[in-house]
Amino acid sequence: MMEPNYFDDAAATWDNEPRRIAMMKVVGEAILREARPTKEMDALDYGCGTGLVGLFILPHVRSVTGADSSSAMLDVLRKKITESGVGNMSAIGLDLQHDPLPAERYHLIITNMTLHHVADTGAVLKAFHELLLPGGTLCIADLDTEPGIFHPPHAAASVHHNGFDRGELRSQLEEIGFEQVRDATAHTIRRPVQDGSEHDFPVFLITARRPR
């Protein structure tokens, strides 16, 4: 995931970015459309940040566990949970590159704009496979390959991948043991980059199932 210091510094104002809120809604709707969650499902939101996507899908599942490596982001999420009074969402500190797998298993795992901040994506994808119940669904939303201009300089140190080639990521998931792997374009972010010009950055949603 992102370097904790970057996330910790950004946590207090993370939800103040309109583009981020707009993307969360579109990605959340794409997850609902593609994964079709039900009230019998327990979900893990990995790299949850302040819980934007997890809280969006919460009404459609039995429970959501938000997991992140940033304590400040989790503090913001816990405050949201307390203030809203929801009883079916929790927040845990977790970095699947280094931490032991939690004991719980999930029907649905979502990860939004997190994977490009993960150095060892293979290890994390394998962990997702282990954490899913048989028949469970993985949803990955992230950037298509881009020329390294998406992130501002203060965030660039936390980036390990300038997006992903969808075909390569699908193949990697299939090699791990996922099936029914498919992708769609969930959103396109239009934003200015460092030189002031505006660029479009497509965001894909890949869904994959652990075999029953």
Res. 161: pLDDT tops 50: yes
CB 8 within 8 A of CB 71: yes
pLDDT higher at 119 or 131: 131
Diameter over CA atoms, the chain? 49
- Strand, coil or helix: 149: coil
Strands 63-68, 106-112: pairing is unpaired
8-28: pLDDT as tens digits: 666 666 666 777 888 889 999
Could you tell me the CA-to-CA distances from 30 to 26, 43, 175, 209 in Å, in that order?
6, 16, 25, 16
Strand (E) or helix (H) holding 94: none
Alpha helix segments (H runs only) across 36-165: 52-57, 71-84, 121-131, 153-156
Query: What band does 38 get if pLDDT is binned at 50, 70 and 90?
Result: very high
Q: Which amino acid is at 54?
A: G
Quote the DSSP letter at residue 189: E
Res. 2: pLDDT tops 50: no
Q: Which domains occur in the chain, in start order?
A: 4-209 (3.40.50.150)
Q: How much is the average pLDDT of 116-134?
A: 95
Question: Mean pLDDT lowest for which of 26-35, 56-65, 186-195?
Answer: 186-195
Query: What band does 151 get if pLDDT is binned at 50, 70 and 90?
Result: low
Mean of per-residue pLDDT scores for the chain: 89
CB 70 within 8 A of CB 47: no
Res. 6: pLDDT tops 90: no
Strands 198-209, 132-143: pairing is antiparallel
Beta bridge partners of 190: 200
At 145 the pLDDT is 76
At 136 the pLDDT is 98
The number of residues in the chain equals: 212
Q: What is the pTM of this model?
A: 0.89
CB 141 within 8 A of CB 111: yes
Integer Cα distance of 110 and 35 in angstroms = 10
